[in-house]
Amino acid sequence: MTSFTTHRGRVHDTARTPRQRFAALRTCITEFAPYGFRATYHHLCRSAGIPPDLERDPQSLVRAVDELHGARQVWLAEFLPWQERRRAQKAAGVRGPVPPEPWRRLYCPDPESHPDLPLPAAAALIARSAGPWPPRACPVCAEDRGTTRWRTGHSVERLCAGCGVGLGSRPTGREDAVLAARAERWKLVWRRRA
């Protein structure tokens, strides 16, 4: 099994074809996706300007992976205290780990609706947020703009009306028409045509 760091190196490797480098970027996104895979993918394609024809701008892949790496560094800094506590627990003979506090992800259920902030800045906002989760005010906009409801296949998401960040969900029934429409739109996002 390879790691985020290995695939990040492959994106930077100019001896590889742009398609191979793009595949490595997608693997990095599967390893760390602060908005969820689809929204993180869409965000990076837009912010780095990844064209449908990768040969036109292979440097865009480097810009995208470096932005993702910056956000991951923020997450790793948040995870470090738990790692240190776990090392102390192991030294004391505690076999069952106390799980870390879940990292407050900025999940965006709609791939095309996510904050415009660079990923490291959004991750830093989340890391600094305090209080109960999900919050009343959006952690990205820092104000209570109200929420809209977005129906997904199995739940209703509470979304920030300003930037689309998911603020929690509750289960519901399936909506096949909604799922089909989102699947068609995702095909355009995946091909970097949306």
Please classify residue 151 by burial: count the beta carbons closer than 10 Å to its beta carbon, then call 0-12 exposed, 13-18 middle and 19+ buried. middle
Q: What is the pLDDT of residues 50-105, one digit of tens each?
A: 999 999 999 999 999 999 999 999 888 888 888 888 888 889 988 877 766 655 56
Q: Which residues share a beta bridge with 166?
A: 159
Q: Which residue has the higher pLDDT, 43 or 165?
A: 43
Q: What is the pLDDT of residues 14-42, one digit of tens each?
A: 999 999 999 999 999 999 988 888 889 99
Give the pLDDT score at 179.
66
Give the confidence band of 113 by pLDDT, cuts at 50, 70, 90.
confident
Please classify residue 133 by burial: count the beta carbons closer than 10 Å to its beta carbon, then call 0-12 exposed, 13-18 middle and 19+ buried. middle
All residues at 6 or more sequence positions from 35 whose CB lies less than 8 Å from its CB, including other chains: 43, 105, 106, 107, 108, 114, 115, 119
Q: What is the pLDDT of residues 156-192, one digit of tens each?
A: 456 666 665 665 554 444 556 666 777 777 777 778 8
Give the pLDDT score at 66.
97
Domain interval for residue 55: 4-190
The number of folded domains in the chain is: 1
Give the pLDDT score at 170.
44
